[in-house]
Structure 1
Amino acid sequence: MLETPADQPLADSRRAVPRTDTVLAEPAVRAATERLGATIVKDAVRRAQDRCRRGELAPDEVPSAALASLPPTATALRRVLNATGVVVHTNLGRAPLSPAAVEALGVAAGATDVELDLATGRRGRRGRSALAALAAAVPDAGGVHVVNNGAAALALVTAALTGTGRGPRDEVVIARGELVEIGDGFRIPELLESVGGRLREVGTTNRVHAEDYRAALGERTAFVLKVHPSNFLVSGFTSSVELPVLARLAGEHGVPLVADIGSGLLAPHPRLPDEPSAAHALRAGADLVTASGDKLLGGPQCGLMLGAAELVEQLRRHPFARALRVDKLTLAALEATLTGPESPVARSLAADPRALRTRAERIRDRLADVVEVSAVETVAAVGGGGAPEVPLASAAVSLPVALHAPLRADAVLPVVGRVERGALLLDLVAVAEADDDALVDAVRRALAGGAG
C-alpha cells in the first residue's frame, strides 16, 4: 500500500531515528555505559529515541538527550538535604555518615583484609580493627560484637540464652511498660517470642517494683531484660527499677542482666542527661548492653553488643550469629565513625543555636529579593527513637508552604523541610553549613518552576 502524503513526514521521522547501537557507540554514551551499566543507559537511549519519533527531538539530539536524562549514579537512591529539624531521621536513612566513614566505604568496596592476617597469610578475626575500636570506645566492656541492627542484637541474645525454646530456661523477665513497639509495626515482645523466648511480664504499664522482679525470677528464667523506652515518655504516677537493683536480683539467681539502651550512646552526653549510655549501663551492673549504631553513635546501621567477655563470646559463637553477620562495608564505616572526626550527628547535637540563627539570617538575605522569607528560632528533635523529651534549640528559614512539594521534587538536590503553622520551615540543625549554597540554589529552582 502506498503511503499517503500525510503519512510521509511520520515515516521519514521514524527512518531518521538513529539506531540504538549507533547511539551507544558515541564516546560520551560509551563512557556513561562503563560508569552506570548498559541497562540504565539503554533505557535512556530508548526514551530519547521515542521523543525523536514523536518529533520532539532532532535525530542528532538523541545522544545528548539520553545523556541528560541519566541519573548521577547507578542507584535510585537520591541524596537529600535534611531540613526537617530531626537530627536522626528514620525515613531519611537515620545517621548521615562522616566524611571519614564515607572514605572508608570506598576502601572496603574492593578486596580487603577483612578476614585475612596479612602478616601470616592466614585467616584472621573478621573485622578485628572495627571491634578493637568499639572496645576502646567502651573500656568497661570485656567483649564486643556487632550484628546487622539493634533488633538483631536482641534476637541473638534471646536465641542464645533461651536455647531457642529447647532448654528449661526460656523465660525473659521484662517490665510491662518496656514492651515497646520499635517502628513499622515491629514490637519487642513479638521479636523475642519469634526466636523462642517466653515473656514473663512484671509490674503494670506505669509502675514496676523490685518485688515484682523477685517474684518472677525462677528456674525457667533465662535472663532479665531492661529496655529503654527511647521513643516515648511516660510521666506522672510512675516507677521503675534501676539497673544496680536488677543486677543484684539477676545475680542472686545466676542469670544475666541485659540492658537494651537503643540509641547507641556509648558515653554520657551533656546535652542528653537522661539518655542511657553503654558505659553507664555496664558500670551499673548490666552483663550485656545492646544498642543501634546508626542513631546517636552516628554510624552505619548495625547492632552493638558490649559486655562480659564470656557472654559475648557465647553469643558470637551461636549458630544464629552467622545469619546476622555484618559485611565489610559496615565494619569499615563503623571503625571510621569510632576513630575518625566527630560525626554529623555529634555536630548537630552540639550546634550553637546562635550560629544557626546567623546562618538562617544569611540565607534569608540571599532569598529576600525573590520570595517572602524570614529567619526564625525553632525547636528541633533528636529523632531515631532517642531522647523524645529533649528539645534542641535551633533556627530555620521560613518560606511559603507552596514550596514544600517542589523542593522535595528538585531534580538536582531534593530538600525536605517541615510544615509548621502554615509555613515551610527549613531547619538548619541537621544541614551542614557547607550545604547552605545548595539550599539557596534549590529554593531558587523551586521558585523558577512556578511555586510560591
Structure 2
Amino acid sequence: MTFDANQFRLLPSVDELLHTTQGQTLSASFSHALATSALRLSLAEARDKIRAGGLCPSSESLLAAAELQLQQRFLPHLRPVINATGVIINTNLGRAPLSQEALQAVQNISTGYANLEYDLEQGTRGSRHVHVAQILKDLTGAEAALVTNNNAAAVLLGLSALALGHEVVISRGQLVEIGGGFRVPDVMRQSGCQLVEVGTTNRTRIADYAAAITERTAVLLSVHPSNFLITGFTESTAITELAALAHERGLLVMDDLGSGCLLDCERYGLAHEPTPQESLAAGADVVCFSGDKLLGGPQAGILVGKAAVIARLAKHPLMRAVRIDKMTLAALETTLRHYQRGEAERKIPVWRMISMTMETLMQRVTAWIQQLSTHGISARTQTGESTIGGGSLPGETLPTTLLALDASVVPYPLDILSQRLRSHTTPIVARIFRDTLLLDPRTVLEEQDTEVVAALISLLA
C-alpha cells in the first residue's frame, strides 16, 4: 500500500504536545512520565495509520487519544455494577449490597482512628469483638458471640479449637461443595480433625450418629445444604436429636447454617430457612453463619453459642489469622442495628428486594418503557422469576415483572447489546433468554433506575 511520507513530517514531537495546555493538564493529572509514555504510544499508532494510507491526525486528536489511554489505564479494576439479573444475593457480583447507613458507618470509621481495641471507659486495651457481641446475643439468644472474616473461616476456627486430633461426625448428605470449588470435607481436614461420615446421601438417622461415636469423637457437625436440594425419599436428623445425643455422651454440636437468616422467609412466600435462634434453642453449642447472604451485611463469619465454647474459640491462635477488620465491623454493627430496630425490611437492600411488591415492580418497569418509547425504543413487560442466590434458599423464586427487549427490535445481536451494557460507565449486567434481553428491576436499586434507562437510550436510540 502506498502512503504519503510527508504526513510523517507533520506529526508533532512529544515535547511539543507536552507543552500544550492539554498536555500540561495530562502531566498534572497523571504525572509527566505517564503523560510522556501515553503520547509516545499515541504517536506510534498515528504512524501506523499513516503507513496504512491515512493522514496525520491533529494535535488535539493525539492528545485526546493519550488521555483516553490514561483514563482506561486508571479505571478501578474492582468496580460497582448494576445487577439486573434478578439474582438477589449474586455471589459473582459481590453478594449483599450494604444499606446507606452501613456505608456511612464504614466511611466514618475508615477515615480516621477508632476504638477498635480500646476501652474508652477504662482507658485500657479492649476487644474488637465487643462491638457486635451484645447485639448478636440479643438477636439470637446466644450466651456469647464471635466474628471472623468469613463463614468458612468460622467453621475452620470452630473445628480447630474444638476437635483438633479428634473425630467429627457428619452426615454424608451434608458434605457439600461451596462456592469456588471449596468443599466442606477439605475445610474440615485443614482443621486437623478426622472426618467420620455417617448415613447415606439421602437418609441419615440419629442411630447412624450414635453408632459412629467413639472415645475419640469430639463434635457432631450439622451443615445446612443451603445451595442444593435433596428431595423425594429423604430423612435427616434434627438439631434437637443431635443435641440430646451429643450432650448425653459429653460431646458438642456445631451447626453451620451458611446463609444467616434472622427473619421469617415464609412471610414472603419462600420456604423456611433455619435461623440461628432456632438452632440455639434446639440445643446447638455453637452456630456459624455468613454476614453477606440473607443477613444482608458485609462478608463475615459469625459464631454464636455457649459462653464456654465461644471462649475456647476466642483464645485459639487461629483467631488472629481470621479476625475481622474495623470497616467490616462498622458495616456489620450497623446492619445488625437495623434488625434490633425492626427496620431490616426497609433499610437492608436484600430484604427490600425480597419484600418488593409486584405492584412496585410493574410501576418501575412501566416507567422504564415509557421513557424508552419517547426515544423510539420498543420494549415490553414480561412476567418472570427472581431467585435468592448466594447459597440461600435453593430452588426458591419470587414472581417478578421484567423489562424485555426482543431481538427483532434491537439493531444488533443481543450478545453485542449485553456486552455494550457491561461496558457502560457503570456496567449493567442483564441476562438473555431465548431471543430476548431481560432486565429485572427487583435487583436494580431504585436510585439506579435513571442510569439503566439512560444506558439503553444511549445504545439503542
Correspondence for 1:363: 368
- Conserved? CA contact 1:179–1:188, under 8 Å: yes
Q: TM-score of the superposition, structure 2-length normalised?
A: 0.86
| 1:240 counterpart = 2:231 | no
2:38 to 33, 47, 56: 47
Structure 2 letter corresponding to 1:186:
F
- Conserved? CA contact 1:147–1:153, under 8 Å: yes
SS for the counterpart of 1:199 is: strand
2:397 to 391, 397, 402: 391
Correspondence for 1:349: 354
What are the within-5 Å matches in structure 2 for residues 176-195 of structure 1? 176-195=172-191
Q: What percentage of residue pairs aligned between the two structures are identical?
A: 38
2:442 to 429, 434, 445: 429
- Conserved? CA contact 2:421–2:455, under 8 Å: no
SS for the counterpart of 2:96 is: coil
Deviations 1:341-399 (A, max 9, x none): 52110101111122101211121122234333111121110000100132111111011
SS for the counterpart of 2:71 is: coil
Q: TM-score of the superposition, structure 1-length normalised?
A: 0.88
Correspondence for 1:376: 382
SS for the counterpart of 1:383 is: coil
What are the within-5 Å matches in structure 2 for residues 33-432 of structure 1? 33=30, 43=34, 46-52=37-43, 54-55=45-46, 58-59=58-59, 70=71, 75-110=76-111, 111-138=113-140, 140-163=141-164, 165=165, 170-269=166-265, 270-271=267-268, 272-340=270-338, 342-368=347-373, 369-400=375-406, 402-403=413-414, 404-432=417-445
Deviations 1:67-111 (A, max 9, x none): 555269763112111010100001101111111111122122232
What is the number of residues matched between the two proteins? 431
For residue 15 of structure 1, report the CA deviation from its aligned partner: 1.9
Structure 2 portions without partners, runs of 5+: 47-55, 408-412
Distance 1:311 1:414 in 2: 45
Deviations 1:132-188 (A, max 9, x none): 3333332x111111111111111111111122x2xxxx1111111000011221110
Structure 2 letter corresponding to 1:439:
V
Worse overlay, 228-237 or 334-343: 334-343
Indicate the structure with greater helix content: 2
Worse overlay, 10-19 or 219-228: 10-19
For residue 196 of structure 1, report the CA deviation from its aligned partner: 1.0
Distance 2:206 2:93 in 1: 40
Distance 1:317 1:221 in 2: 22
Distance 1:74 1:447 in 2: 25
The structure-2 alpha-carbon separation of the partners of 1:109 and 1:157, relative to structure 1 and needing over 3 Å to count, comes to same
For residue 210 of structure 1, report the CA deviation from its aligned partner: 1.2
- Conserved? CA contact 1:23–1:63, under 8 Å: no
SS for the counterpart of 1:70 is: helix
Worse overlay, 322-331 or 105-114: 105-114
- Conserved? CA contact 1:134–1:335, under 8 Å: no
For residue 216 of structure 1, report the CA deviation from its aligned partner: 1.1
The structure-2 alpha-carbon separation of the partners of 1:373 and 1:6, relative to structure 1 and needing over 3 Å to count, comes to closer
User: What is the root-mean-square deviation in Å for CA atoms of aligned residues?
Assistant: 2.6
For residue 128 of structure 1, report the CA deviation from its aligned partner: 2.5
- Conserved? CA contact 1:293–1:302, under 8 Å: yes
SS for the counterpart of 1:399 is: strand
